[in-house]
């Protein structure tokens, strides 16, 4: 199956996605866009929708190493919530440092939502810029608040 690529806006950033069918191979953030389309769930997410990516899978979750276990655990973090590097490490039997290394090497951020993994005391890092992590967490917080507000009305 042919790997397609494209980008969509996320605030001042672009999200580049390489994908085929329902499998996402790579996601990166950039200040410039590339031509091409991205899967609808990614576009919806970048526009602020509460998207759970049920129809997409990351190539990284099939990794048989500890990193694959970490990516699978991180994929289970609910939309709009966070867990610490230590909590993820404990759940898969490794250290917070190894979780941080896996997050730094995550080939499909957003799909494997590494932005939802935070430090015990603070945000933790995010490549290429911590401002993207803040943007993503804020986007999710606003979507959850919209859902709560509409249910309360």
User: Where in the sequence numbering do the catalytic residues fall?
Assistant: 114
Provide the angle, in degrees to the nearest 10, between the axes of the packed helices 85-92 and 96-105. Answer: 100
Length in residues, the chain: 153
Q: Please state, in angstroms and rounded to a whole number, the distance separating the CA atoms of residues 101 and 77.
A: 18
Are 112 and 74 within 8 A, CB to CB? yes
Q: Largest alpha-carbon pair distance within the chain?
A: 46
For the CA atoms of the chain, what is the radius of gyration?
A: 15
Whole-angstrom CA distances from 40 to 4, 54, 115 are: 13, 12, 20
């Amino acid at each position: 199956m042919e790997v397609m690529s494209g980008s969509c806006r996320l605030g001042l950033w672009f999200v580049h996605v390489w994908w085929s069918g329902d499998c996402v191979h790579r996601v990166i953030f950039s200040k410039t866009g590339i031509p091409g389309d991205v899967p609808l769930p990614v576009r919806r997410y970048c526009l602020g929708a509460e998207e759970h990516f049920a129809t997409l899978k990351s190539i990284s979750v099939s990794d048989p190493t500890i990193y694959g276990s970490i990516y699978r655990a991180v994929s289970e973090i609910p939309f709009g919530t966070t867990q610490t590097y230590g909590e993820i490490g404990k759940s898969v039997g490794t250290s917070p440092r190894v979780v941080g290394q896996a997050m730094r090497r995550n080939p499909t951020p957003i799909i494997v939502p590494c932005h939802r993994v935070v430090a015990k005391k603070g945000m933790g890092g995010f490549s290429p810029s911590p401002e993207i992590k803040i943007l993503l967490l804020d986007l999710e917080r606003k979507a959850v608040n919209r859902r709560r507000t509409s249910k309360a009305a």
